[in-house]
Every structure is written in C-alpha cells, then in structure tokens.
Structure 1
Amino acid sequence: MLKKVRNRKNSILIAFAALAFAAFSWTFIGSALSEQEQDLQNKSGFAQAQHLKGKWVRPDGGYRLVIEDVKPDGSLKASYYNPRKINVSISNWKVENERLHLFIELRDTNYPGSTYSLVYAKEQDALDGTYFQAVTKESYSIGFLRIPKGQN
C-alpha cells in the first residue's frame, strides 16, 4: 500500500513538473515567436500592404477592384467587376525593391488568364501597372484610383 501511495505521489509530481515546464515554455517561447512574427511582418512590408485594402476603379472603363483581407504571407482577397463580378483565380502582394506589388489573375468567361501587375504609388494613393489581356495577347498600361470610403 505504501508503495502505491509513493507511485501515485511520484506520478502527480511528474505531471505537475511537466505542466509547469509547459507553462514556462509557452510564456517565453510564445512571446519570442510573436516578436519574430512581428519582425517578419514589418520586414516583409505587411504594414505597407494594408494600404491596398479598399475599393479601386480604372478611370478608363469603370472596371472595379476590391481588396480585402491582406495577410502577412502575401495573400489577399480580391474581387473584380466589369460590371459583373469576374472570377479572381490568383491574388497576392509582395514588396520588391522597396515597392509594393500587387498581382491579380482573372479566370472567367472572356478572361482566360488575363492579369494585372500593379505597383502601389503611395504619393498618389493609386495603383499603376500593366494589364495583360489574354484573349488578344496584348498588354496595356493602366491605373486604378482609390474610391473614397462611402462611395461605390
């Protein structure tokens, strides 16, 4: 009986020690990972990429681009309208040469892989770049302007 009590005490002590170690590790390693993640986000331009969020319009035709849910891994949610919704198959961002780049690929009827390769112009709060029209295999210089909040 005494041996059983000792074994139970040892099991409880081991379990308590493991729990204490796990709590200690979570506190210190978890906060270190948060700092590393924060550094990665800052270095990768995640804070800068937040400028992409919003509604954008191409003045030369009324085409609309809506950008939401910008994530640190370079992904984002984009919707495109002409005037009906066109399927966006790929949408991502990256910082290259200290410039914020946006890439959108459209896959829908009359849009078999047409793409936008855009750069964010902070001074103008605009997106400038190239539209590749997959049907005609031609590229065009285009731009998008931000639609002020409260307007469609």
Structure 2
Amino acid sequence: MAMKKKGPKKKRNRSRSKYWWIGGLVLIVVIMGGYAGHQQNEKPGEQQKIPAELAGRWQRPDGGYVLELTAIRPDGVVKASYFNPRPINVSQSQWQIKEDRLEVFVELRDVDYPGSTYTLAYQPDQDRLYGIYYQAAMGQMFEVEFVRAK
C-alpha cells in the first residue's frame, strides 16, 4: 500500500491571531470602562447627601396638580404622592444628581395615566422644580413647573 505524501502543513499565522485577541481585549476594556463611568455618573442618589430641599408639597401653578415628596433616601429612592386633585398611583420615583443638577423622576400608573412621567430638575435660586411632563395617553410632552406649596 502506497502512502500518500502529505504536503507541507500550512503555518498558522499566530501573530495575526494574537493581534485580534489583544485588539478584542482592549476593545472590551474600553467599552466596560465607559459603561462603568456612565453608570457611576447616573446612578440615582448613590453615595449622595440626602437632598432635604426636595421634601415637601409642590404645586403646578397651571392647575390643581400636587406632587408631595417625602422619605428621601441616600440610595436615590424618594416616596412621591401625586394628586389631581384625587390621589393618582405613583409606580416609581427616584432622585439623582446628574450633570450637577438635582433631578426627580416620577412615573404615574393609574386610570388615564398609563405610564405618564415627570422628569424635573430642582432650581434652588427660585425654589422650584421644572422640567418635562410626558402625557403617555396622548404621547405628548409639556414643559412644566412646580412651586413649593405654602
């Protein structure tokens, strides 16, 4: 039986494969570093001083809407109650420092409030909350403000 002569084995280009591995690892490290930095800057309230200035009853001057903020915790959780004039269920509420601004996010889930949200920033020189109200039922956004109820 005659043996077939095998041709020369192809040399695997190990240096090219090594560069792919190194490039891939560098890319992963860069992406993870960027993600971690982004998360660190936007985690609600983590390792922050409790912003006592948020606590209280806030009223929209354009109607009988009242937002009450209590139980503000350092982990970003805030207890929010919303009235129009009857109580509306608040499904989620939190605070955070973002780009040197104190912000509050409130999500409403109730009849006629299918995920409507307030994204508000505290303006200390005027002692007001201002920002955007997303009216989910209509799919529209409105600029709004709340002033401290007296």
TM-score strictly above 0.5 = yes
Match of 2:22 in 1: none
Map 1:49-60 → 2, pairs under 5 A: 49-60=51-62
Alignment check: 8 A CA contact 1:94 1:101 kept: yes
Q: What CA deviation, in whole Å up to 9, does each residue of 1:124-152 have, x standing for no partner?
A: 0000000000000000000000012xxxx
CA contact (8 A) 1:100 1:120 kept: yes
2:49 matched residue in structure 1: 46
Structure 2 equivalent of residue 81 of structure 1: 83
What 5-or-longer segments of structure 1 have no aligned partner?
A: 1-41
Moved over 6 A (4+): none
Contact 1:64 / 1:81 at 8 angstroms: preserved in 2? yes
Q: How does 1:1-152 map to 2 (within 5 A)?
A: 44-47=47-50, 49-148=51-150
The separation in 2 between residues aligned to 1:55 and 1:96, in whole angstroms, is 23
Q: Is residue 116–residue 131 contact of structure 1 (8 Å, CA) maintained in 2?
A: yes
The residue matched to 2:126 in structure 1 has which SS? coil
Counterpart code for 2:137: V
Aligned to 1:3: none
Distance in 2 of aligned mates of 1:107 and 1:43: 25
Structure 2: how far apart are the matches of 1:145 and 1:99? 17
Question: Residues 44 and 95 of structure 1 are in contact (CA less than 8 Å); yes or no, is this contact kept in structure 2?
Answer: no
Q: Percent identity?
A: 47
Following TM superposition, by how much is the alpha carbon of 1:55 offset from its aligned partner in structure 2, in angstroms?
A: 0.3
Give the Cα separation in 1 of the matches to 2:94 and 2:127: 18
Unpaired stretches in structure 2, ≥5 consecutive residues:
1-44
- Tell me which protein shows more helix as a share of its residues: 1
Deviation at 1:83, TM superposition (A): 0.5
Cα distance in structure 2, aligned partners of 1:114 and 1:98? 25
Cα distance between partner residues in 2 of 1:76 and 1:95:
13
Query: For the pair shown, which has the larger CA radius of gyration, 1 or 2?
Result: 2
Q: Residue type matched to 2:59 in 1?
A: V
Please, what is the CA RMSD of the aligned residues? 1.5
